Amino acid sequence: MKHGLFISFEGIDGAGKSSHVQALADAFRAQRRSVTVTREPGGTPLAEQLRSLVLNAAMDPLTEALLMFAARRDHLFEVIEPALARGDVVLCDRFTDATFAYQGHGRGFDLAVLAGLESWVQTVPALPAGTLRQPDLTLWFDLAPEVAARRLAGARAPDKFESESVEFFRRVAAGYAQRMAAQPARFERIHADQPLEAVWTDVVDAVRQRGWLA
């Protein structure tokens, strides 16, 4: 019986998670693990098309949430579930916590509706009835919205979410904090307001503590 590992990376825009996705992939590969690196929204041809719509077009919050979950369903079935079944380490740049944080807390969309969609979308054949596919570990890169905004400024043309206010990102961060409080065992909070090497050390420690990296 092979055991895959599912790790998601979360945080507000500008928190600096993405470089650590690649570095962690390299660390696992160095220990002869097969790694699938992917992202949300996206990760399949269909979900990447949905990504470009949802990151660029204006739409109401329900449409936005439905597109996020539609992309997720395709991504789960086409990429994540097959990779976990092969025994891969799956490193996913954002997953459902982002929907709760951005669409739920950021936009103010109904959290109970999101929880309903979560349970529909993350019910998968590999798991017993009543169990949802969730990451084994979520690394939450926590950074003050003001600092993240300074990091993003001038980096490149901002997309729909990156153009949001500091207030919006304060709500998004509160959303992540709430998700972590509800499922503490799954989360590791990474203090992202440190030099890159120190952040990386914390990332590796979180994975090592769980016995997943030597």
The strand pairing partners of 35, in sequence order, are 89
Would you give the binding string for ligand TYD spanning residues 126-145, x where CB under 6 A is met?
--------------------
| 120 vs 122: CA distance, rounded Å | 6
What minimum distance in Å lies between the beta carbon of 164 and ligand TYD?
Answer: 8
Burial-class residue 85 by CB neighbours within 10 Å (0-12, 13-18, 19+): exposed
For the segment 157-176, give every residue that binds ligand TYD (CB under 6 A). Answer: 161-162
- In the bound state with ligand TYD, the residue whose beta carbon lies nearer, of 5 and 179, is 179
Please tell me whether residue 99 binds ligand TYD under the rule CB under 6 A: yes
Query: Please, what is the minimum distance in Å from the beta carbon of residue 128 to ligand TYD?
Result: 25
Q: With 0-12 CB in 10 A as exposed, 13-18 as middle and 19+ as buried, what is 186?
A: middle
Q: Which stretch binds ligand TYD (CB under 6 A): 20-28, 75-83, 98-106, 188-196?
A: 98-106
Torsion 206-103-94-170 (CA) sign: negative
Q: Find the shortest distance in angstroms from Cβ 131 to ligand TYD.
A: 21
The span from the CA of 113 to the CA of 106, in Å, is 15
Q: Note the residues at the interface with ligand TYD (CB under 6 A).
A: 13, 18, 40-41, 55, 68, 93-94, 98-99, 102-103, 161-162
